[in-house]
Amino acid sequence: MENLKLRDSTIILENIDNTHEILQAMDIMVFPSLYEGLAMALLEAQATGLECIISDNISKDVFVTDKVKSISLEEDIIVWVSQIKKILKTAERERERERERERERERIYIY
């Protein structure tokens, strides 16, 4: 972390008991693993409705929702970044639609 200068932009969580709360605060899970058995973290992420981008080295057994996108680790980093941006843009549009629905509900209740 120090060598990559990631200390200020990374949080390392150790033993926690509120995994679902942490996952619900996220927009996306990126999992570029070289190897995983049954990736429980990905199953938990999907259970909360989280979009997941994973390496194609991970077993297809973890594909339990349609929110998992698999990309080869051989792909250029641009492919990964492009997919991340696409998902984040979609998430932001959904948040904006939800804010608009909330404003509309407030206008209805004012009258």
Distance CA(49)–CA(90), nearest Å, equals 14
Write down the mean pLDDT value for the chain: 88
pLDDT in tens, 24-60: 888 899 999 888 777 888 999 999 999 999 999 998 8
Q: What is the pLDDT of residue 108?
A: 80
What contacts 63, CB < 8 A, 6 or more positions away? 70
| 52: nearest Cα among 14, 91, 13, 4 | 91
Q: pLDDT tier at 111 (50, 70, 90 boundaries)?
A: low
Confidence of residue 82 (pLDDT cuts 50, 70, 90): very high
What pLDDT does residue 76 have? 94
Report the pLDDT value the prediction gives residue 8, as an integer from 0 to 100: 83
